[in-house]
Chains A and B, each alone.
Chain A
Amino acid sequence: MSVMVDIRSVHKSFGSLDVLRGIDLQVRAGEVTVVLGPSGSGKSTLLRTINHLEKVDRGEISVDGVLMGYRRAGDKLYELREREVLRQRTRIGFVFQNFHLFPHLTVLENVVEAPVSALKRPRKAVVERAHRLLERVGLGDKADAYPRQLSGGQQQRVAIARALALEPTLLLFDEPTSALDPELVGEVLDVIRDLAAQGTTMIVVTHEIAFAREVADTVVFMADGRIVEQGPPDRVLGAPREERTRAFLAKVL
């Protein structure tokens, strides 16, 4: 299968703190990659560099064959104008840990906003599609509610519908269940599982080991800004080769 995300020797530091120290990762189209690792291992930062919410210091990232955030000319990479970066981002759905729904807009308006204003799609078609997406995440009856009137799990499902509204080729999840009460985690994971079954390319940063084991095609274990090991879930979670991975799994399992 073709490579959807190609990350090559990506480095990133915040001041004197090296968050990413040379990341190489390929994600194939249609696969689910789950990124695990202790807090501060750089997994969320890596995810944010993929859609250029975070600029890299070194290295390059391509999504679906398109270099993210830069234009290559000779041996130099020139930063793209914001308008071009924004257009690139519309091909990538991003789901945040804290949902970040727009609180002053209804659920439907949240989902409709980006396709209409960023992609200039006709509003009527977008609204119809938004209703279908809300049905799909089990919230067909909540279109006119405001985010605050929903539970955390429902808000995160709206956020997923909002990301899907752009018909992205890639979905990025940044700890989608970490801000949820335990009894609400399942409903969000169900939606992600459903998307995986339909062959959506996804990268999921999470702490849900059981979910990784069940849904991931590839598990990536990160620590201290590096990828320690990666492979099929059975291998990485069942028979980890690296001491760092074993120590982490011993703590969380």
Chain B
Amino acid sequence: MSSDTLAKVPTAPEIPEPADAPRIVPQRRYGQWAAAVVVLALLGFAVNSVLRNEAFHWDVVADYVTSASILRGLWLTLWLTAVVMVLGFALGTLLAAFRLSANPVLRAVGWGYVWLFRSIPILVQLLLWFNIGALYPQVLGVKTVDLLSPVAVAIIGLTLHEAAYAAEVVRGGILSVDRGQIEAAQALGLSPGRRWWRIVLPQAMRAIVPPAGNMLIGTLKGTSIVSVIAVNDLLFSAQLIYHRTYQVIPLLMVATLWYAVVTSLLGIGQHYVERHYARGTENAR
């Protein structure tokens, strides 16, 4: 209850306090103080050692952090993440619909997909797609190797992987919507499309956004795995430089800084998206 509602409550007639009313003394929390001091000391020690360790070569980091090849790698990482998220969630939503379908065949296929692609390590999957030419040398008379560039392999592999997880996130979101909402929409004569876009999805989004935000950040950093198939992402660009200059640590710091910056921005974005979908709920502001 807010203080102004309390203020409107008429005050009770003053009852004189007995002179010998005992004073209340809050418990002293010495343990909390001690824990805070220890943790701050350790933190200060760690930060100090990082900043003063010459081997980090922060001057080299500063030289490379906005260099053209790093920025090109960052750009590839960003759009690869965006493409994979969009395609992954589109396919994932379709799979969630399969898993919730009344059709037992679709349900089984949806379940099987999620089982399969959650079982295969993403690294193995990328290498499989990269070497798909060994399994299918030709597709429709075209050499498979010519058909699939490393970037195409990265998009396919990451999307298929992402979709399996997205399917579960979307399915969980749909299940979180009260069954009565759909019934009410049916009773009002709303079409299936309208029910989905206007009634179910906006309410499901409240349960979908937090894990989807998690997945987005995970995917952003997860794309760094495509460096194994020589796709020029942020990490691979840093690696190309340190293979030449041997400044391994500073260039890993360059990549890390950019991942941290983008992750922070995405976290802020997620906050606003969550607030949007909290309309009408107790958490709304």
Contacts and interface: CB of A to CB of B under 8 A. Distances in A.
Contacts of A102: 181, 184-185, 199, 203
Interface magnitude class on chain B: 20 to 34
B188 A104 contact: no
B281 A148 contact: yes
B194 interface: yes
Given A53-B183, A96-B184, A146-B279, A104 B189 contact: no
A98 B180 contact: yes
B68 interface: no
B191 interface: yes
Main secondary structure of the interface of B (DSSP, over half): helix
Contacts, number: 75
Contacts of A210: none
A109 B167 CA distance: 30
A142 interface: no
Interface string B161-198: 00000000000000000101101111111111010001
Given A86-B191, A146-B280, A148-B281, A104 B202 contact: yes
B281 A118 contact: no
B280 A148 contact: yes
Interface string B249-285: 0000000000000000000000000000101111010
B198 A113 contact: yes
A51 B181 CA distance: 16
Given A96-B183, A100-B183, A117-B194, A89 B188 contact: yes
A94 B191 contact: no
Interface string A80-108: 00110011011010101010111111100
Contacts of A162: 188
Nearest to A159: B184
Contact of B190 (A86, A100, A103, A147): A86
B189 A89 contact: yes
Residue among A51, A86, A87, A166 with most chain B CB within 10 A: A86
A126 B282 CA distance: 29
16 contacts: A82-B192, A86-B186, A89-B186, A89-B187, A90-B189, A100-B183, A101-B184, A102-B185, A102-B199, A103-B280, A104-B281, A105-B280, A117-B191, A118-B191, A146-B279, A148-B282
Interface of A: 51, 53, 82-83, 86-87, 89-90, 92, 94, 96, 98, 100-106, 113-114, 117-119, 146-148, 162-163, 166
Interface of B: 178, 180-181, 183-192, 194, 198-199, 202-203, 277, 279-282, 284
Pairs A-B, 3 closest by C-beta atoms = A146-B280, A100-B184, A90-B189
